[in-house]
Amino acid sequence: MSAAEAKPRIERAAAELLARDGYNGMGLKALSKATELPYGSIYHHFPGGKEEIATVAIVGTAVAIGELLTATLVDGVTEEAVRAMFGFMADRLEASDWVAGCVVGTPALDDSSPTPAVREACATGFVVLIDPIVDALRREEMPADVAEGLATTLIAAYEGATALARVQQSRAPLDAAAEAMIRLVAASR
């Protein structure tokens, strides 16, 4: 397998493990097994080891989801867009038997003191998720500070509802959060 094929394979598998187990729970042996690559080849492609793999996977996945958000919000922060955003995670959780959370949010919950690079990757990931919402609200001529606060609240509600949905093994928290955010967006206009 070429490096052009192996690196993205490692990143995708790492993203799934991070979303499920967080940074502290992601083991390189599990990553080797998930990718069907020899343990040593992981270090060949990522000499910085687990920390490098995690930071690349977190930011890379956040960028991909940010692009999906941008496309979802092309007509603004509509009821349909908010439901689609929260529905995406509800569908993902349900399909994974309630284990595959958010690749940014799950590792962000780990104790990040020994891994500042992972904490920074999560912080960057959240900015990448918040920015498309801010941009969509700004297109509606919402003041910048209001748009930033509202977008941050949407992502905070999304992450909190994701945690509740995982624990409760139910879409209900994400559905409820979506409806509450729709009402909040409407009241903020």
pLDDT of residue 3: 60
Give Cβ neighbours of residue 165 (< 8 Å, ≥ 6 apart). Answer: 89, 90, 93, 98, 171, 172, 173, 174
CB-based contact 129:63 (threshold 8 Å): no
Q: Is residue 14 part of a domain?
A: no
The CATH number covering residue 122 comes to 1.10.357.10
Q: Is residue 1 part of a domain?
A: no
CB-based contact 108:122 (threshold 8 Å): yes
Q: Is residue 183 part of a domain?
A: yes
pLDDT of residue 2: 66
Domain span holding position 131: 51-188
Helices 172-188 and 144-168, axial angle in degrees (round to 10): 170
pLDDT of residue 155: 98
pLDDT of residue 1: 60
Mean pLDDT by 10 residues, the chain (189 residues): 79 95 92 89 89 96 97 97 97 96 94 86 97 97 96 98 97 98 95
Could you give the angle at the alpha carbon of 39 between the alpha carbons of 17 and 60, nearest 5°? 40
Q: How many CB atoms lie within 10 A of CB 187?
A: 8
Q: How many helices (H) and strands (E) does the chain have?
A: 9, 0
pLDDT of residue 98: 97
Q: Is residue 39 part of a domain?
A: no
pTM tops 0.85, yes or no: yes
Q: Is residue 66 part of a domain?
A: yes
Please give the DSSP secondary-structure letter assigned to residue 143.
-
Q: Give the burial class of 65: count Cβ atoms within 10 A of its Cβ; 0-12 exposed, 13-18 middle, 19 or more buried.
A: buried
Q: Is residue 112 part of a domain?
A: yes
Give Cβ neighbours of residue 154 (< 8 Å, ≥ 6 apart). Answer: 77, 82, 85, 130, 133, 181, 185
Query: Number of folded domains in the chain?
Result: 1
